[in-house]
Structure 1
Amino acid sequence: MLSVDQAMRPDRAAANELVPSRYALKVGDLDVLVVSDGVLPLPTSTMATNADPADLADWLKHQFMPSDAYDWPLNVMVVRSGDKTILIDAGLGSQFSGFPRAGMFPKRLQDAGVPLEEVTDVIVTHMHMDHVGGLLVEGIKQRLRPDVRIHVSEDEVNFWVQPDFTQTVMPNPVPDVLRSTAKEFYAAYREQLHIFKDKYEVAPGVVTRQTGGHTPGHCVVDLTSNGERLMFAGDAMFPVGFEHPDWHNGFEHDPVKAAQVRKGLFRELSESGGLLVASHLPFPSVGRVGTVGGNFRYVPVIWDF
């Protein structure tokens, strides 16, 4: 049974890791655990496809990041609400070969004392391979409960019947792998899918709601309990987005709408003061959104040991 105290006590296997791969916190009465699925190297050109290359190079330089490729963080989250244990996204799995630093979530979840057999619900923010691939790893489905409910928006399921990549700018092999992964995911789990429109309360204080943009059915997950808030934003935002929310990410299927969604969520978070976790912010990605002179900024929390 997931608890903050349990997750903060490493077992022997996890203690061998030199870098922390999980972070536990409370949101009111909700127990929350952010788990790193690892990192995936990607070309920096995918970070801002509509930016002047010189501007992107300047941003990378000021962030002390390489000019050609960067490590794309992969974060998933587990929430305990009452008698429900909810997994939010499932990482990359083995959908892309040759990346040994990704696809770590099943082992790391086990090391944190959260057996897959205890997961009652899975929320899929969207059906990109780095969010559903972990569910396709050999042996994972057999460990999940037969009655597990996998929540995904109707628009997302419909989109992947015949996905449109005309506005994306991805490395050449990626679209075909995204198509095949989404198809495999739907075929493997169609009996467990709970398909919803707009928003759905998965458990008390845990609501998934559709934003669109990154994909047509992309969702964020809102946690609320005892006046405290946390948003798991999925792929609605990336590290460069705080300073440059209008820069398009190469994996966005509707980049114009994605930018609108991003700015709207930034405003929402800055006004509420709620916590933020996102799939591709540096682990554990727990922070808040502030504003300075009308510009957004990411404010990471100080780790609570």
Structure 2
Amino acid sequence: MNQIVPYTQQETNMSLDNTSCPRKAGSEELVPSRYAVRIGEIDVLVISDGVLPLPTAMLAHNADPAVRAAWLNDMFLPPDAFDWSLNAVVVRSGEQIILLDAGLGLDPDLNLPRAGQLVKRLEAAGIDLGSVTDVVLTHMHMDHIGGLLVDGVKERLRPDLRIHVAAAEVEFWEAPDFSRVSMPSGFPDALRSTAKRFAEEYRSQLCQFDEEHEVAPGVIVTRTGGHTPGHSVIRLASGADRLTFAGDAVFTVGFDHPDWHNGFEHDPEEAARVRVRLLRELAATGELLVATHLPFPSVGRVAVDGDAFRWVPVFWDY
């Protein structure tokens, strides 16, 4: 059974004691921003990168507006815009410290002051950027790579840092197609420019794979496509325990309406097929799920609910 446990200081400089609570009295943050899970011998820390306010229409631009509004009302969510969670994950497997996605970073043109918190929250958790041996990217949207572009971050990273990403993803962003997305104004340009800058700055450190790649013992990244051509999920396995980090394959609304198209999906129909297939697998295995935009700490399981699914959050452990 998956255990949720405190951590101790390690020689890797990854200190995660009392990870589900604010680090010290008087902290400026009133709510937890990190949550620890142990998957067998693999240590996992979910870290909140903050929240991203977006129009609710982006949840399902192919749905009847009245049906979408009814779902929002049933979920006690505001009708026009609400905050999407932004989650990243730190994994320790053996001697490797692996960052799964790198958060939004700080883009002054987007005016998103409550997002882009990953770097300071890593520091608050006692995680030295220089101890990170690998980064695995689910895809190259800016809310998954931007943290590596924050001023001063690259200089603090190891010169031999390995950044694992699907080859199809790198190729896609050389000439990205936005013809089937439904994003607010300004986002396509920001996504395009961020991906271009990222590829230029980190190209020599990219470790590209085709379909599947073992990053560390028990840490496998697999390309799914759909959301973007190279979108990937990361599966952790140790002993009898399993956890999947699904990136943007799953959104909150996707359990009730897996066929609804998210505005950031570059191939909406394929993204829906990926989502259904992944949710069916997770429901069958009973393993833990974490995803970028599920409400923090985004740790739970999937159950089948008729023709749809049901999200079952874990009970917090202290």
Q: CA deviation at 1:295?
A: 2.3
SS in 2 for 1:296: strand
Q: Could you tell me which of 117, 122, 126 is aligned with 1:109?
A: 122
Q: What letter is aligned with 1:168?
A: V
Unpaired stretches in structure 1, ≥5 consecutive residues: none
Kept in 2: contact 1:214–1:255 (CA 8 A): yes
Runs of 4+ in 1 over 6 A off after TM superposition: none
Instruction: Kindly report which structure 2 residues correspond to 1:1-12, keeping only aligned pairs within 5 A, or say none.
Output: 1-2=13-14, 5=17, 7-8=19-20, 10-12=22-24
Q: CA deviation at 1:3?
A: 5.8
Q: What letter is aligned with 1:130?
A: D
Q: Could you tell me which of 46, 71, 76 is aligned with 1:64?
A: 76
Q: What letter is aligned with 1:153?
A: A
* Cα RMSD for the two superposed structures: 1.3
With normalisation by structure 2, the TM-score equals 0.93
Residue aligning to 1:74: 86
How many residue pairs match? The answer is: 305
Residue aligning to 1:28: 40
Instruction: Kindly report which structure 2 residues correspond to 1:153-232, keeping only aligned pairs within 5 A, or say none.
Output: 153-232=166-245
Q: What letter is aligned with 1:150?
A: I
Q: Distance in 2 between matches of 1:70 and 1:174?
A: 17
Q: Structure 1's 13 and 142: CA in aligned 2 closer, same or farther, altered over 3 A?
A: farther
Q: Could you tell me which of 132, 145, 153 is aligned with 1:140?
A: 153
Q: CA deviation at 1:291?
A: 1.1
Q: Distance in 1 between matches of 2:26 and 2:246?
A: 27
Unpaired stretches in structure 2, ≥5 consecutive residues: 1-12
Q: CA deviation at 1:172?
A: 1.4
Q: Are 2:112 and 1:99 aligned?
A: yes
Residue aligning to 2:9: none
SS in 1 for 2:146: helix
Q: Distance in 2 between matches of 1:15 and 1:21?
A: 12
Q: Distance in 2 between matches of 1:14 and 1:287?
A: 30
Residue aligning to 1:252: 265
Instruction: Kindly report which structure 2 residues correspond to 1:268-287, keeping only aligned pairs within 5 A, or say none.
Output: 268-287=281-300
Q: Could you tell me which of 242, 254, 257 is aligned with 1:241?
A: 254
Q: What letter is aligned with 1:164?
A: D
Q: Distance in 2 between matches of 1:224 and 1:15?
A: 34
Q: CA deviation at 1:10?
A: 4.6
Q: Distance in 2 between matches of 1:195 and 1:13?
A: 43
Q: CA deviation at 1:13?
A: 7.8
Q: Distance in 2 between matches of 1:19 and 1:12?
A: 12
SS in 1 for 2:265: coil
Q: What letter is aligned with 1:121?
A: D
Residue aligning to 1:267: 280
Q: Tell me the percent identity.
A: 61
Residue aligning to 1:53: 65
